[in-house]
Amino acid sequence: MRDFEVSIDVAIVGGRIVTDSWSGEGTVVVSGGRVLAVLDPSVSIESIGAARVIDASGKLVMPGGVDPHCHLAIPLGAFVTLDSFASASSAAIAGGTTTIVDFAIPAIGEDPITALDNKKEMAQESRCDYSFHGCLNSKPDDVKHVIESFAERGVRTVKLFTTYRGELMVDVNTIEDVMVALKTVGGLTYVHAEENSAIEAAQEEAATAGCIDARHMAGSRPPEAEDEAVRQVLSIAERVDAPVYFVHQSTPGAVGLVLAARQRGVSAFSESCPHYLTLDDSCYEGPNPERYVCCPPIRGAGTVAQLVELANQRLIDTVGSDHCCYSAVQKSQSAHDVRLMPNGLPGVETRLPIIWSSLVHNGGLSAEGFVALVSSNPARLNGLYPRKGTIEPGSDADIVIFDPSESRVVTINDLHMDTDYTPYEGRTVTGWPTDVLLRGVLVMESGELVDRGPMGEFIPAEMIGGR
Ligand code: URP
Ligand code: ZN
Ligand code: ZN
């Protein structure tokens, strides 16, 4: 018998373990919800004495996905996004994600700390682990106090918007003050960067030309507007020497600005999303173009190819879903005018399979690079690493067993998100999770969700050190 001083709950044998920095055959030993050891495959199963042995032969054993960008049950524009924490977290698990990071966006005039506390209350029903970004949609009297209150509550990332005037947009002074305050608590400013006046001008021009319906979404929010806002926000970060993270980047130009800033010593980070990496703007020419309306919009095929190349080279830091669920009817109601439409796409469940299939199975991204994008870097850039985002002694036993050769045709009928469409309907996707462990407990087994009730825990963010 191997001399473990604690009882062994689970041993995962026969698979190829993949982290962001290495991969190889091995056995993962789990005790008390944590990874106890990663053993050489030559160690006999009998000697481990595990209560349960999971055979992962032919499969990959990866850290559970960490989705850094989810909008659950939040009023945005005319509607409240559809998913509850119960449904979105179940969908997350079905797609191989074990931790979601949601945005506590205050209503206009609402105190941002109250918004966070309310969100924490709602999250009690979560099936997977979760964390939060704070959000400011106006400048509080005492920014430092608000940021310190977030940090006391285990929140060290705060999202700011340079667009959506009258709803979410803040000015450059607020951005600067938040960056300075977050720096003192080891935090990180998350920015939705699109230069608002350029967008409003493009939209007005489109409306005058009669081209403001969903078919013309791509032209209504030009790539130059994204690049310009990234440039402006980076210059603030550089001046105050504070880290910054750009959500849902859709252009190689925007990512290139981040990379150039990093060369100059700025701690700057890029997130992109499955839809910017695997769809192109021809989706606005087909049926139901409104189902693809999101901000920034889906870009042209040439832009997408360049963005994918950056991801392949591991020059994009994270892939978040930007999960923002509306029904097909809600999406269609204002499809004649994208300025009135609910923005955003469902994606928490499809994030891992879509990225694996397009970028790894059919593309040039390594398995290690995949883990970095969907798990390790999101964990690092949310202060959750190494508790989340890796498989090493001491980390939470959040593990996805992934069959890289399983092909399925995506259909909303098989998915668990609280909506009635997926942007990937009919796409053949190769690479799906088969089994998922959350802190050592099987929450998906042989492709079937096992609902253990609301076992998700809030994971407070530690100081964020970067990648
Ligand atoms: O279109 C999007 N991305 N909707 C969600 C809200 C946001 O801007 O992230
Ligand atoms: Zn955004
Ligand atoms: Zn978003």
- In terms of domains, do 50 and 80 share one? no
In a domain, 386, yes or no: no
Q: Pocket residues for ligand 1 (CB within 6 Å)? A: 71, 192, 248, 294-295, 322, 324, 343-344
φ/ψ of 372, rounded to 5, equals -60, -45
- In terms of domains, do 82 and 171 share one? yes
Q: Which of 380, 408, 429 is the last residue of a domain?
A: 380
Which residue range forms the structural domain that includes residue 315?
65-380
- In terms of domains, do 267 and 122 share one? yes
- In terms of domains, do 57 and 132 share one? no
pTM: 0.98
- In terms of domains, do 284 and 175 share one? yes
The string of DSSP letters for 31-95 reads ETTEEEEEE-TTS-HHHH-EEEEEE-TTSEEEEPEEEEEEE-S-EETTEE-S--HHHHHHHHHHT
Render each residue's pLDDT in the chain as its tens digit; 467 residues.
566 889 999 999 999 999 999 999 999 999 999 999 999 999 999 999 999 999 999 999 999 999 999 999 998 888 999 999 999 999 999 999 999 999 999 999 999 999 999 999 999 999 999 999 999 999 999 999 999 999 999 999 999 999 999 999 999 999 999 999 999 999 999 999 999 999 999 999 999 999 999 999 999 999 999 999 999 999 999 999 999 999 999 999 999 999 999 999 999 999 999 999 999 999 999 999 999 999 999 999 999 999 999 999 999 999 999 999 999 999 999 999 999 999 999 999 999 999 999 999 999 999 999 999 999 999 999 999 999 999 999 999 999 999 999 999 999 999 999 999 999 999 999 999 999 999 999 999 999 999 999 999 999 999 997 66
- In terms of domains, do 52 and 70 share one? no
In a domain, 433, yes or no: yes
In a domain, 212, yes or no: yes
- In terms of domains, do 258 and 307 share one? yes
Residue nearest to atom 8 of ligand 1 (CA): 295
Residue nearest to atom 2 of ligand 1 (CA): 344
Residue nearest to atom 9 of ligand 1 (CA): 322
In the chain, how many domains are there? 2
Which residues lie at CB < 5 A from ion ligand 2? 192
b/e sequence 2-40, b meaning 16+ C-beta within 10 Å: eeeeeebbbbbbbbbbbbbeebeebbbbbbeebbbbbbe
In a domain, 423, yes or no: yes
CATH code of the domain in which 171 resides: 3.20.20.140
For residues 75 and 330, is the Cβ–Cβ distance under 8 A? no
Pocket test for ligand 1, best of 191, 226, 295 (most atoms within 8 A of CB): 295
For residues 230 and 257, is the Cβ–Cβ distance under 8 A? yes
In a domain, 459, yes or no: no
In a domain, 464, yes or no: no
Q: Which two tokens stand for residue 199?
A: 């967008």
Closest CA to 247 of 174, 186, 163: 163
Closest CA to 182 of 146, 141, 137: 146
Q: Which of 350, 380, 410 is the last residue of a domain?
A: 380
Q: Which of 339, 354, 380 is the last residue of a domain?
A: 380
- In terms of domains, do 85 and 167 share one? yes
CA distance to 10, 291, 373, 400, per residue, from 441 (Å): 9, 36, 24, 11
157 three-state secondary structure? strand
For residues 271 and 247, is the Cβ–Cβ distance under 8 A? yes
CA distance to 93, 208, 299, per residue, from 202 (Å): 39, 10, 15
- In terms of domains, do 39 and 143 share one? no
CA of residue 232 to ligand 1 center, whole Å: 20
- In terms of domains, do 82 and 225 share one? yes
- In terms of domains, do 57 and 136 share one? no
- In terms of domains, do 225 and 156 share one? yes
